[in-house]
Amino acid sequence: MPKYIIERDIPGAGQLTQAELQGISQKSCGVLRDMGPRIQWLHSYVTGDKIYCVYIADSEQAIRKHAEQGGFPANRIEQITTIIDPTTGD
């Protein structure tokens, strides 16, 4: 299945407490359970005013449906075509 990165504009994201992040994570996981195996959350990066999430999903529409059902913004969704790291240069 394709892998996607989702950019979520969330003002003050970097200031969210551990309890708030836990609540967001629990909400997301609940929606994912209801949606079934066609979408999977891998991990997220929290910055000052954004959260970047990496998902595996069968379509961009599945990502949008998750965002809508969870009440999360999905301001930009990009399909990941290739992953590189320092070993790519070897």
- Is residue 90 in a domain? no
Q: Which domain CATH number covers 35?
A: 3.30.70.3090
Q: What is the pLDDT of residue 69?
A: 96
For 46-81, how does the pLDDT look when each residue is reduced to its tens digit (9 = 90+)?
999 999 999 999 999 999 999 999 999 999 999 999
Q: What is the pLDDT of residue 65?
A: 97
- Is residue 26 in a domain? yes
Instruction: Please state the pTM of the whole predicted model.
Output: 0.92
Asked if residue 32 lies in contact with residue 39, where contact means CB atoms within 8 angstroms, the answer is yes
- Is residue 88 in a domain? no
Q: What is the pLDDT of residue 71?
A: 95
Q: Which amino acid is at 54?
A: V
What CA dihedral angle connects 83, 42, 71 and 1, to 10 degrees? 60
Instruction: Quote the number of domains for the chain.
Output: 1
- Is residue 70 in a domain? yes
- Is residue 22 in a domain? yes
Which residue range(s) make up the domain with 38? 3-83
- Is residue 89 in a domain? no
State mean pLDDT over 12-25.
Answer: 97
